[in-house]
Amino acid sequence: MTLTVLAPLGCDEVVRQLWPHLDGALPESERARIVAHLEACQGCRSHYDFAAAFLEAVRKSHAPDEFASLRFRVAAALRAEGTASR
């Protein structure tokens, strides 16, 4: 039997927190759990790599204001997609 101080995050939770995580908007304890999960989970890792590369590409090609609103729309679309496919 293994006991962990913090309950491990499920993949769905990690994916949900991916954008705030990339924004640096999460508290340190939450970040650590996500990083730990990403190190152990190949599936979430590819989500993360994609999201990070996407953010970076968009950030380079847009003005900051434009970027913020675009990212908001993308995040909203992804959430809608996630809810719709359930």
Q: In angstroms, give the least distance from the CB of 68 to Zn ion.
A: 28
Nearest partner of 22 among 1, 43, 53, 46, judged by Cα: 53
State yes or no: residue 44 binds Zn ion (CB under 5 A).
yes
The yes or no reply on residue 41 touching Zn ion (CB under 5 A) is yes
Total binding residues for Zn ion by CB under 5 A?
A: 3
Of 39, 37, 34, 38, nearest in space to 20 by CA: 34
Which positions ≥6 away from 19 have C-beta within 8 Å? 51, 71, 75, 78
Identify the residue among 6, 8, 11, 12 touching Zn ion (CB under 5 A).
11
Where does this chain touch Zn ion (CB under 5 A) — which range of 19-27, 36-44, 57-65, 74-82? Answer: 36-44
